[in-house]
Structure 1
Amino acid sequence: MSFYGFARGVVDVIFTPIYRFKAIGTENVPKDGAVLLCANHIHNLDPIAVGVTTKRHIVFMAKEELFKVPILGNVVKHLQAFPVKRGKGDREALRMGLAALREGKVLGLFPEGTRSKTGEVGKGMAGAGFFALKTDAHVVPCAIVGPYKPFKRVKVVYGKPIDMQPLRERKASAEEVTELIMTHIKEILIQYK
């Protein structure tokens, strides 16, 4: 068993009984090939909620600060997450994200770049659109529906992949594509709130 599989099992046993994670639409996550999985961000536990509700290994882009936290930093590295410097164009993070997708992996992103304090979906950063346009990855929107309160259900809803072909063909901007992804996430959130 991989470290990721072991960690997911441990986390599932600890957190699922408390937050009663319920996955909806997991059939929308392709079983193989590159997937760009984009979710809203409402809590520190969002990567765990997404990680335990999908069968595939997700490579997360995570804020650089996490890698500096004792013990947690090593765990995050072993889960094959990679750091991103927030608030500036991080070429190394973009390169690593592209490499993961070109290897047929699932890249997990929270396009807002930070947690929403209101629970509303904020503006996404252009990185999500960049990855969607530069690869042939399936782009799957995901809505996490809280609240994260003990013994209250947290729903993780996976939407149908967004058809990126027309946007790729007309060379849409990364900002436009990110906006489209965020619109899909908002629509799922409205439907399942």
Structure 2
Amino acid sequence: MYAFTSRFANVVLKTFGRTQVINKNKLPKDTGYVVACSHVSWIDVVALGTSLLPNEIYFMAKKELFNKPSAAKFLHSINAFPVDRENPGPSSIKTPVKLLKENKIVGIFPSGTRTSEDVPLKKGAATIANLAKVPIVPAAYSGPTDIKGLLKGKKIRVIFGDPITLTNEDGTRKDPSMLTEELSNVMASLQDSLVRGDYK
């Protein structure tokens, strides 16, 4: 189901959104990793997933989306798993850490909500990456935020930054707060580069 859905979505986005993936060569090839992306609408979720093809990505999604059996079945089929954002506990971290240790890719939208405003990044991405001992790949999206914008042919861009490692140059471990701040700064820089139109 994931292969069919992602490839179909890829065709749709490329046809209407003229998708451009920037710096895909920066993605790690020999390990699982967390990819943290800006989030303004459901389209950036789809765009991030298709930009990583042929690799699959596993998404954290709020548990409310899984309330209906039909919706839950579909979400599971496209590699989404539920997370209780209001009361996060050990189970919220257990699943993504397990996937990462299996060399899978886990997608997280650190702001926690869909918004165009500057929202402080939550520490989830850094905490999960630390526990799984994998790097974090910062990413940013620009493009349509709804079907109307997509059908008008507004260009879709997904950009990846250099993987953020868990240790400093002297070998000491970065704490989650430090990782979160570094991730926030890099993601903001990537977003600014898309807004400026550095990549035509």
TM norm structure 1: 0.89
Point out the more displaced range, 9-18 or 49-58.
9-18
One-letter code of the match for 1:132?
A
- The residue aligned with 2:187 is 185
Find the residue that maps to 2:14 and give its secondary structure. helix
1:39-97 C-alpha deviation (Å, 9 max, x unpaired): 01111222201011112110111111221245332111012221111133232120001
Distance 1:75 1:133 in 2: 30
- SS of the equivalent of 1:125 reads coil
Instruction: Give the aligned residue type for 1:165.
Output: T
State yes or no: 1:158 paired with 2:155: no
Other-structure match for 2:60: 61
Task: Determine the C-alpha separation between the residues in 2 that align with 1:51 and 1:57.
Answer: 7
Q: Alignment partner of 1:50: what SS?
A: helix
Deviation at 1:190, TM superposition (A): 0.8
Paired residue for 1:142? Answer: 139
> 2 CA distance for matches of 1:147 and 1:182?
22
CA contact (8 A) 2:43 2:144 kept: no
Tell me the SS of whatever aligns to 1:61: strand
Report percent identity of matched pairs.
27
Native 8 Å contact 1:61 1:108 kept in 2: yes
CA–CA distance in structure 2, aligned partners of residues 34 and 121 of structure 1: 28
SS of the residue aligned with 2:182?
Answer: helix
Please list, as runs of the form range in 1=range in 2, the aligned pairs for 1:1-193 lying within 5 A after superposition: 3-55=1-53, 56-69=55-68, 71-116=70-115, 119-148=116-145, 149-150=149-150, 151-166=153-168, 170-193=172-195
SS at 2:42 equivalent:
coil
Deviates more, 1:126-135 or 1:93-102: 126-135
Q: Is the 8 A contact 2:167 2:174 kept in 1?
A: no
- CA RMSD, 1 decimal: 1.9
Alignment check: 8 A CA contact 1:41 1:110 kept = yes
- Tell me how many residue pairs correspond in the alignment: 189
In 1, the alpha carbon distance for the partners of 2:77 and 2:185 equals 33
- Structure 1 runs, 4 residues or longer, greater than 3 Å off: 69-72, 167-173
Task: State the 1:171 CA deviation.
Answer: 4.3
Contact 1:34 1:137 in 2 (8 A): yes
- Structure 1: which 5+ residue stretches go unaligned? none
Query: CA separation of 1:173/1:90 partners in 2, compared to 1, >3 Å: closer, same or farther?
Result: same
Distance 1:16 1:113 in 2: 27
| Distance in 2 (alpha carbons) for counterparts of 1:39 and 1:14 | 21
Structure 1 residues 18 and 123, CA gap change in structure 2 (3 angstroms) = same
For structure 2, the 5+ residue unaligned runs are 196-200
